[in-house]
Structure 1
């Protein structure tokens, strides 16, 4: 027998033996648990721990800062909501919001909620709102969220008081506008925490109202 023929015969025999071994072990192979070497197991990705932030912020606030989130109302259907340091201050679930302006006062040093009220600017709460704003204590943060119609009967006194709290947009606030704001009494500069959206029939998201606004961030203690 030639050498080449012997090699082909041995190759065929090897293939047959290998096929037989594979068929013998294939049934049990499918049910075996494949174990990675320890060094490879250490490299395998572990479960990612999701850290919860106060008020659901995208990232935690630095030390000595307060976390907050303010959402305006959606048309005249869904009321606004306010969260401060993971505490829901006002919301439709708490049933303590109303059409117009919803305002919460928070101690700027301790983070304690001092007062919370809603003022219907359509039915004539303007005088009550003026007195409320004039009585804000020092070192107080002011959180504001609009709902339905915040500006129909807003007068110059109210606009001036909100401007003194740091608002840049209150002078433009009108019928069915959306507005969210965080300011403080005697703030020297304009607040960086404010959003405003004018009601416009051509751009309104809802029938007669602009879309809701959402404001979140970290406010330092004693920013005033």
Structure 2
């Protein structure tokens, strides 16, 4: 199948990003590398930020394909631990791309970062369903995201020979210990009222024993219990 203008432009921009970082992805350089006129870039992507978002999305698909090596198991906490390692490993293997996705201080998230957040939220939700989450899903997801992003960007900023290989694992275990509670799957959870409320809140949409107003009221009560800790 012949490559489209869009394909050639994204591939050229991705190569420039890998070789020289974000500053190397200029309209002139991309148009020359892709063999297209500069106006074609604006017609396809709107502006340079649109191009960068497309490059980030293209590169993120590589990350998603690598996640096939992180299958879902019966232990959602162990899955989150492996997911952290995969995330950090991807960032160190693709520092320019990772910095493009996560290093931009502009408000909001890039489409690629939003997709990653949705995957993380799903992992956190499974921990909540298992009765092993010690705080609300939203807070846990934000904490894992902030810590993982910070550790990865910190390691990227360091010379490779100076990186502490234990830094990521230490942060990972500390964060997971903070957001989780209770024994491994198969045992009776003992995380107190917060973990119980979070677990019930996670599965509340499935219940048919309550009508909509009753579910809304119970959800409010559970949220108050979950945030009280």
Same-fold call, TM cutoff 0.5:
no
- Could you say which structure has the larger radius of gyration? 1
Structure with more strand by fraction = 1
Structure with more helix by fraction = 2
- TM-score, normalising length: structure 2: 0.24
- TM-score, normalising length: structure 1: 0.24
